[in-house]
Amino acid sequence: MLASAAALGGVQAATSFYGAMEQNRAVKKSLESSSVAAGTQMGQTRDAAALEATKAKRQATATAGRLRVLAAAAGRGEDFSITNALDQATADGATNVTVIDRNRDNNVLAIRSNLAATEARLRAGYQNPILAGVSSILQGAQTAIATYGGLNAISSAAATTPPTPAPDFGGGFEGQNPWSATP
């Protein structure tokens, strides 16, 4: 009895050890894929910001070009008011690029923050396989001891309890069926 309980505890320990190892492998794969996904997302964010910055610079250059054409068509050249408008177009373009760069940086920080939170949550799932196995052995031993103690109590009670005599219904029914309709 005790040997079978010990064997069962050993099987439980091996199963727990293997389960913890598999859990750790799954956590490691999840961490790797989260890191790859965050890197891809940051790259896409940077690419999108670079594209928007290029568009903003081209728009500022196009606006300045239109202002020069209008000034030339009006025969004014680049006087003070046109120079101010050109400066403003250049400043607007630079401001747009700055905003795009800040948005990119904020998005990258948000991605990194989300990655750190995901990694922390995943790392909480790591298990120590040895502790899982030892814990299983202890649980198995506790179950075996409780089962062994219960079986001992039952066998002790059965050995010391005298047999119960058959019930006596007070006579008068010998040879008769007390359940039949005829006496």
pLDDT tens digits along 54-96? 888 888 888 888 877 777 777 766 565 777 778 888 888 888 8
pLDDT for position 177: 61
Give the per-residue pLDDT at 80. 59
How far apart are alpha carbons 120 and 31 in whole angstroms?
9
At position 99, the amino acid (one-letter code) is: V
SS3 string of 116-162? Answer: HHHHHHHHCCCCCHHHHHHHHHHHHHHHHHHHHHHHHHHHHHHHHCC
How many CB atoms neighbour CB 95 within 10 A?
12
The residue among 123, 112, 108, 129 whose CA lies nearest residue 31 is 123
Mean pLDDT over each residue of the chain, to the nearest integer: 79
Q: Is 70 exceeded by the pLDDT of residue 19?
A: yes
pLDDT at position 2 over 70: no
**Segments making up each domain of the chain, as ranges:** 2-159
Q: What is the mean pLDDT of residues 29-35?
A: 90
State the pLDDT confidence band at 169, using cuts at 50, 70 and 90: low
